[in-house]
Structures are given as structure tokens and as C-alpha cells.
Amino acid sequence: MSKKVFIKTFGCAMNEYDSSKMADILKDSHDLELTQDEAQADVLLLNTCSVREKAQEKVFSQLGRWRKLKAKQPELVIGVGGCVASQEGEAILKRANYVDLIFGPQTLHRLPQLFDQAIKEKKSQIDISFPEIEKFDHMPEARVEGATAYVSIMEGCSKYCTFCVVPYTRGEEFSRPFDDVVAEIAGLAARGVKEVTLLGQNVNAYRGETHDGDTADLALLMHYVSAIDGIERIRYSTSHPLEMSDSLIQSYAEIPELVSHLHLPIQTGSNALLQSMKRRHTTDEYRDIVRRLREIRPNISMSSDFIVGYPGETEQDFKDTMDFIAEINFDHSYSFVYSQRPGTPAADLDDDVPLDLKKQRLALLQQRLSQQSADISRKMVGSVQRILVTGLSPKQKKQLDLSAYDTDKAVAVDFDAGAGMGAGAKNSQLTGRTENNRVVNFTGNHDLIGTFVNVKITAAFSNSLQGEFYSGHNHSIA
Ligand code: SAM
Ligand code: F3S
């Protein structure tokens, strides 16, 4: 029986992506099967995040729990990867000497060797170097599950915002060669992928080398990706305002496959704080980007990241952020209390906003953002949305799980008679996502899974929309 690996991931989409790569690599090298049950695992891996202190502390409480498993099963291999590993390195062993592998975001491809060495030498192995160029060359072919896929096109960040550890833990910006990315996506499309999300810590800083020695930016890459047969939808995440070039903005006019949704972190609506954070742009420059995008795509949905309680944040700074959120009408966004990170320039500033006040401000800000996104959802009721159907709705899946104990009932729940979708069609509650990232549940034929359909929105709830099948993917509503 093949051995099993359990991977726990903290943090961003890049970490989720890296974890899926770790699973692919270990399957390839040691035939390790991914398990969702840590008690069944022979290898336990933690992919960590150090962007905020809380995320970092979670690492050690998780390791504490795993220590007990290792006490019962001494052969268990425990590994720590990601940004905490990159930042702390050997220091992790001081708090948790039972950890066998420590590897950074740039050395996860070396896991098989580290794993073998740890077993052979019976000694913890550490590799947190930054050999970026190798990483992408050592990845096995991605496993495709369904019609959506993430493709990492660049790594790291060279922006050095004063509060952020990422440039230190993931290294400077490094882009994958243009031809490699296009070839990978063509391969995914050939295996049924219809929607790709191009990933990078600063994805719009992409500058990939082409085979003739030129450099391609994100706009050019997306032109090529959109021309690949089968690719019908393109997303990218996450971006920096400084890199919203003219060519990238113009892409929204030229690439219909590019979604009308942009996640563009701003952090604060105060110009004084933007400057102190070294974001290197003003609120007016951000406004101008949004204005130009909305000239091309009037309904483009904007989302962002916000930090509250950055050193020196006054009531007026906070009010400026709240006003900016209302002015841009941001949709679902991410927001955080400022967390001082060792080694960053902001760590030298006085962390002078009391925690209570930070939390109060965060609650107000999140309330506004939720109100706005609820309003946007409500306004979508009655509209027809194009969605990529990704599978059964969560409710339907739950019913199926329950009814798995009762075969008669399973038949009744799974396949109601299809109405209006052809004689003998088998219908279920299906789920998919709109361009602005809302989950839509609707009743439809199983055959629709993995295709784009038009759905009329009939109701808005806090975490999802309800819809009715409107037309298949060949019927345009534009
Ligand atoms: N590349 C993105 C950008 O253009 O800003 C951000 C990537 S960062 C890993 C994700 C988010 O974490 C940031 O946008 C910021 O809101 C938040 N973040 C980073 N450092 C933080 C800190 N020290 N305290 C609180 N939030 C932080
Ligand atoms: Fe961090 Fe700023 Fe880069 S938030 S990831 S240093 S753009």
C-alpha cells in the first residue's frame, strides 16, 4: 500500500498552489498519496505564512499537536515549508526539534532529496535558499481536476512595502519564461481546462523572457493565452497599482476572455499613509486606473486589500479609507489589522494605534465592505450571468453524502426528472462562479458541469446567489 502525505496550508493563493505542487512532486518521486486525514499520514507537511504574527504563531501550535503523533509513530516525517520556514530557518528547530524538513517557497522542488537525506542521515534537513530559476523546471505536470486551473507565472516581490515580509521570504520578482507558461496552459486546455488564473505575488509585474530574447508583459501573455483553443476565461491575481500599465488596461478592451473583475490592493485611502508605507502611488493615481478601466468595462468589479492601524494612522486617515471604499464601491475584499513584522522597515516605527482601536476600525471597515458587496449581489438579481459550472452545489453534495447510507434515497436526491432541458435529462443543484467571483447555485443537467452557461439570478444570499438555467454556452447574451 502506498504511503500517504497530509499537507496543511496557511496563507495566500500562492501557498495553496505551492501545496498542490508539493503533493504532485511527492507523488512523482515517492508515490505518496495525498490524504485529508492526518492520522493516516506517513508524512506531515505544513505550508506556512508569516505575513501576520497570528499566522506565524499558528505554526507552532500545529507543530505541538503533531509532536504527539510523532511520539506514537516515530517514523513519521514532519516538514515545514513556506514563508515562516524561509524567515526562521534553523530557529524552528529550537522550538520544535522533532521537525525533519525545513524548506522555503523556492526549494519545495528539492523535497524528494531532502526527504531521502533526512531518512538516511536521521538528521533534520534545511534548505531555504533562493534558487528561483530551478524551481519551475522541476515541476511535474499538474494534475487537472475540472475545468479551472491555477498557473504560477512569477514569484516574489520587489516592491518592499514597509510593512511586508514577502520580499524577504519569497525573494525578488522572478518571471517564468513566456514560452513555458504558454505551453503549460495549452497543455491544460488540451486536458479540458477552460478557465485559468495566472498567479503571482505581484502578477502584473510579469516580465517573461521570450524565445527571441525579448520581454513579454502580462498584457502580451494574456493575448497569447486567450488565443489558445479552449481557454474561455482568464483571471490574474494579485496586482500592484504601480504595474497597471497602459497595455494592461487596454487588454480589457481587447481580450473578452479577461474577466470584469480586478483585485487591486491599495491598503489605505490616506495619501500620507500610502507614502509612509512606500506604496509609491497616490489615491488619485488609483482613481485614475479605476476610471480608465470603467470607461472600457463600466461594470468591472473592484476588490482590494486594506490594513487598519498602520503606525501613525489618525481618525482622519481612517475616515479617508472609509470614504475611498465608498467612492470606488469596492466589492468583497480582504482587510487586516496591522501586524508588526520583524525585519521590515515599519517594525522601527512606533506601533501606536491601540489594539482595541485597531479592532474597532477593522469592524467598521468590514461592515462597510459587506454592505457594499451585499448591495452589488442584490443588484445582480434579475440579470443574466455567464458562469463556469464547476460541480454539484454544496447542499446537493451534503444530501448525497447523507443519502449514501440509503441507496433508494440517493437515487431520488441525485436525479430529479429534468424540466425544459431535453427529455430524460438528469438534473441536480449545480454550482458555478460569475466573473465577479460569486457562487451561483441552480438546477441543471449534470452534463453542464465543466461548461459555461448563462444563468438568470433569482435571489441573493450572504454567501451565494440562486439562479435559473437560461441558456447553454453557445447562446450569447451580450
Ligand atoms: N502583492 C500584493 C500587493 O500588491 O499589495 C499583496 C500581497 S500580501 C502577501 C497580502 C496582503 O497582506 C497585503 O495586501 C496586505 O493587505 C496584507 N499584509 C501584508 N503585510 C501585513 C502586515 N504586516 N500586517 C497586516 N497585513 C499585512
Ligand atoms: Fe508585500 Fe507590498 Fe509586495 S504588500 S507582496 S511588498 S507589493
List pLDDT tens digits, range 226-283: 999 999 999 999 999 999 999 999 999 999 999 999 999 999 999 999 999 999 999 9
Q: Of ligand 2's atoms, which has the minimum distance to the CA of residue 305? A: 4
Neighbour order of strands in the sheet with 33-34 = 33-34, 4-9, 43-48, 77-81, 101-103, 125-127
In the reported structure, the alpha carbon of residue 162 is separated from the centroid of ligand 2 by a whole-number distance in angstroms of: 9
Q: Determine the residue type at 464.
A: S
Spatial distance between the Cα atoms of 199 and 235, rounded to a whole number of angstroms: 9
In the reported structure, the alpha carbon of residue 51 is separated from the centroid of ligand 1 by a whole-number distance in angstroms of: 7
Q: Which of 338, 339, 337, 340 is nearest to 363 (CA)?
A: 337
In the reported structure, the alpha carbon of residue 122 is separated from the centroid of ligand 2 by a whole-number distance in angstroms of: 38
Using CB atoms within 10 Å of the CB of residue 229, give its burial: 0 to 12 exposed, 13 to 18 middle, 19+ buried.
exposed
User: Does the CB atom of residue 202 touch ligand 2 within 6 A?
Assistant: yes
Mean pLDDT for the chain?
91
pLDDT of residue 422: 37
User: Does the CB atom of residue 175 touch ligand 1 within 6 A?
Assistant: no
Q: Of ligand 1's atoms, which has the minimum distance to the CA of residue 279? A: 5
Q: Name which residue sits closest to atom 2 of ligand 2, judged by CA.
A: 161
User: Does the CB atom of residue 222 touch ligand 1 within 6 A?
Assistant: no
User: Does the CB atom of residue 52 touch ligand 2 within 6 A?
Assistant: no
In the reported structure, the alpha carbon of residue 28 is separated from the centroid of ligand 1 by a whole-number distance in angstroms of: 33
pTM strictly above 0.85: yes
Q: How far is CA 385 from CA 194, 234, 353, 452, in A?
A: 17, 16, 43, 10
Q: Which one of the ligands is nearest to 334 CA?
A: 1
Spatial distance between the Cα atoms of 220 and 212, rounded to a whole number of angstroms: 15
Is the per-residue pLDDT at 410 higher than 80? Answer: no
Spatial distance between the Cα atoms of 82 and 28, rounded to a whole number of angstroms: 21
Cis status, amide bond into 238, omega within 30 of 0: yes
User: Does the CB atom of residue 451 touch ligand 1 within 6 A?
Assistant: no
User: Does the CB atom of residue 218 touch ligand 2 within 6 A?
Assistant: no
The half-sphere exposure of 237 on its side-chain side, counting CA atoms within 13 A, is 21
Spatial distance between the Cα atoms of 304 and 457, rounded to a whole number of angstroms: 25
Q: Determine phi and psi for 270, rounding to 5 degrees.
A: -100, 125
pLDDT of residue 415: 34
User: Does the CB atom of residue 160 touch ligand 1 within 6 A?
Assistant: no
Identify the band that residue 132 occupies on the pLDDT scale cut at 50, 70 and 90. low
In the reported structure, the alpha carbon of residue 306 is separated from the centroid of ligand 1 by a whole-number distance in angstroms of: 8
Residue 58 host element (H or E): helix 53-72
What mean pLDDT comes out for the span 53-75? 93
Spatial distance between the Cα atoms of 316 and 321, rounded to a whole number of angstroms: 9
Query: How many whole angstroms from its chain centre is CA 109?
Result: 20
